[in-house]
Each structure stands twice: as structure tokens, then as C-alpha cells.
Amino acid sequence: MKIEGKEYRTIWFEKNIVKIIDQTKLPHQFIIKDLKTVKDAINAIKTMEVRGAPLIGATAAYGLVLSILENNDQSFLKKSAEDLIKSRPTAINLKWAVNRMLEKLKGVNSDKILDIAVNEAKEICDEDIKFCESIGLNGLKVIEDIYNKKKDTVNILTHCNAGWLATINWGTATSPIYHAHKNGIPVHVWADETRPRNQGANLTSYELNEEGIKNTIIADNTGGILMQRGQVDMCIVGTDRTLSNGDVCNKVGTYLKALAAYDNKIPFYVALPSSTIDWDIKDFKDIPIEERNSEELSHLEGVDNNGDIKKVLIYPKKSKSMNLAFDITPAKYVTGLITEKGICEASQEGLSKLFK
């Protein structure tokens, strides 16, 4: 997708260096950062220079490439894989990508391992782009149906950033929106600000602006009244881990939007590539929910009049705060899962029809 008219992917490999767009600086500064070691990749995931389930999976895959470049040794590779998986706990794509790489590299001679690792990491990225494009084409039909009935702008609410910045290209939740826009359907997006890190305001709104898609940032608690007023036609969100029974783990606050949508009979869709499905965990209570530094709540970052990024404290110094990063939306509140293979019911039966 585009930034200032130029096409980018979120991650690429050039002359043995992994290149990323530093998302902690967006939307105020556009900085391309070099990752040269596996530690750099782990740090980029931990600090959320890269974030979003598919993108952290891809970064972990390239992290293993960097690990081989640094030290072409099986025990170093194993340790790198363990450290990468631990770098963020909730999105299943991280483990999925690392395991896929390890499977591919099993028993490979040290003289061939680098080429095979580079190809597989690229394949993970190329496949994600293909899958996100298919998600877009499948989700487009839902937006088209609403437009054909309404004959007016389709208002779509989304939470956090499940846009192209969270994937390699297209995004998951945003892909149907980009496809609708390309097909001439008038769309407008309500972008939940998504406290505490403001991915909705800083990233979703930013990337939609760059693609010329109308959007409005709203405080996280605004969705309910907009739904009651008939100003939301549908919701589409992403996910960090969807269980085989259709329960959806996504950025904290997703659950409350799903409840409000259910109460107002507004379709609530979740868009995901199959790499985000956890086929093992059966009970959502077993999903590891990331708890991040409370400073993400107590401090806000923005630019001052000189364009410099500044961080300020907004809470009483003595107050405690708690920063849970994800929540679970039970399947019963999800209208459908939009996947690369089609749209299905959020249930064991629905998913197993698409993914044998």
C-alpha cells in the first residue's frame, strides 16, 4: 500500500539486512529501520516497532534468518527460536511462523541453510499478501450487499490496527475496505482510537488517509452511541488468535464493541488469515493475555510545536494502573469469520468446513 504515493511493504530483506517501518514513530515520523541481528528482531517485536499478528510472525521468520547470518549453528538457532516465540505472548502467528521455519530447516546442511531460510521467510510474507488479498475479496461481498441495500456510504467501525501496517500488505480488517474503495463503493471508517497505544488513531487513520479513504477517529467509548444512532453499518476487526470454536482474541476493547454491536443488531465480522487460528487451545481462558508496562497508560506521546516527539505523564504520580493488551470475544457475538478461503460461521463446524 502507499505512503506519500509510494508503494511499500511493511518488511523486506536487502543485502542481509531486514528493513522495517518503525511503527512507534508513526504518524509523525516515517523511519525505515535496519534489523541486523536476532536481538534486533526480538527488540523490534517487544517494543512494537513492528506489531500486528501477521507482521510479528514475518519478523520472527526473518529473525531466524538473521540468527543464521550471525551464527550458523543449530543450538544458536534453537535458542533464537525460543526467544522469538517469547517476545510477545498472545498472537499465535509468532509461534506459527517460527515453527514453520524450523520445520523447513530441519536437517538442512549448514551450507544451504541460509538460502532456504531466506526463501521461506519471503514465502511467509508473499503468502500473507495473497491471503490478505483474498480476505479482501471475500469481505468485499459483505460491504457490497450493505451498499446495494443502502445505496449510500457504508460506515464501518474498526478497532486497533488490523490494516496493512499489521500485515505485510492489504491488512486483514482493512482489506475488504480497500477493495470496496477500489470498486467505487463509498466507504467511511470509524477508527477506534485504541488506548493505550492508539494504534487506531496513529496507524489505521494514517494508512486510510494515505489511501484516500474517509475516516474519523473516535474515542474508544464512542462506538456504542454511534451504533444506537444508526451510524455504524458493520464492524470489522482483526484477531491475534482465533480458537477452533470461533472465540476471538483481539486488542482489548474488541469484546465491548462486539457486545454493543450484538445489542444493536449490527454485523460484527472478524478478518483473519489461517495462520491466526489456534487449533490446539480449546478454552479461551488458556490463551496467554499479554500485560504490558503500565507506563503505556500513564504517559502519552505526541509532537510538540517543533515537530519533536515528546512523552508526558497524564496520571497522578502515585496512582497504579493496569495494562492488559487483549480480550476475548466469544464466538456467539461474531457474525462471521472472513478468511482467505471464504466467510464462515465462528464455530468449530464453520471453520472445519473451510479448513479440513
Q: Which is nearer to ligand MRU, 253 or 350 (CB)?
A: 253
What secondary structure letter does DSSP report for 290?
P
Beta carbon of residue 239, minimum distance to ligand MRU (angstroms, whole number): 6
* Cβ-count burial 197-225 (b if 16+ within 10 Å, e if not): bbbbbbbbbbbbebbebebebbebebbbe
Beta carbon of residue 109, minimum distance to ligand MRU (angstroms, whole number): 36
Span interacting with ligand MRU, options 49-57, 102-110, 123-131, 308-316, rule CB under 6 A? 49-57
Regarding 160 and contact with ligand MRU (CB under 6 A), the answer is: yes
What mask of x and - would describe binding to ligand MRU in positions 187 to 216, judged by CB under 6 A? ------------x-----------------
Q: Residues near 355 by Cβ (< 8 Å), separated by ≥ 6? A: 274, 277, 339, 341
Q: What is the enclosing helix (H) or strand (E) of 224?
A: helix 223-228
The answer to whether the beta carbons of residues 220 and 253 sit under 8 Å apart is yes
Q: Residues near 273 by Cβ (< 8 Å), separated by ≥ 6? A: 54, 128, 131, 132, 135, 167, 172, 339, 340
What secondary structure letter does DSSP report for 213?
-
Beta carbon of residue 116, minimum distance to ligand MRU (angstroms, whole number): 27
Q: Is 240 a catalytic residue?
A: yes
Regarding 325 and contact with ligand MRU (CB under 6 A), the answer is: yes
Q: Which is nearer to ligand MRU, 154 or 165 (CB)?
A: 165
Interacting residue with ligand MRU among 215, 250, 329, 335 (CB under 6 A): 250
SS3 at position 158:
strand
Q: Which of positions 79-98 make contact with ligand MRU (CB under 6 A)? A: 91
User: Cell 505485510 maps to which residue?
Assistant: 168
Regarding 158 and contact with ligand MRU (CB under 6 A), the answer is: no
Cα–Cα distance measured from residue 153 to residue 268, given in angstroms and rounded to the nearest whole number: 18
Regarding 270 and contact with ligand MRU (CB under 6 A), the answer is: no
Q: Which one of 240, 247, 278, 327 is the catalytic residue?
A: 240
| Strand ordering across the sheet containing 326-329 | 277-278, 241-243, 248-251, 326-329
Regarding 9 and contact with ligand MRU (CB under 6 A), the answer is: no
Q: Which is nearer to ligand MRU, 230 or 288 (CB)?
A: 288
Instruction: Please return the burial class of 32, using the count of CB atoms within 10 Å of its CB with bins 0-12, 13-18 and 19+.
Output: exposed
Beta carbon of residue 240, minimum distance to ligand MRU (angstroms, whole number): 5
Span interacting with ligand MRU, options 35-43, 48-56, 182-190, 344-352, rule CB under 6 A? 48-56
Q: Which residues bind ligand MRU (CB under 6 A)?
A: 51-54, 91, 160, 162, 166-167, 172, 199, 238-240, 250-251, 325
Q: Which residues are catalytic?
A: 240
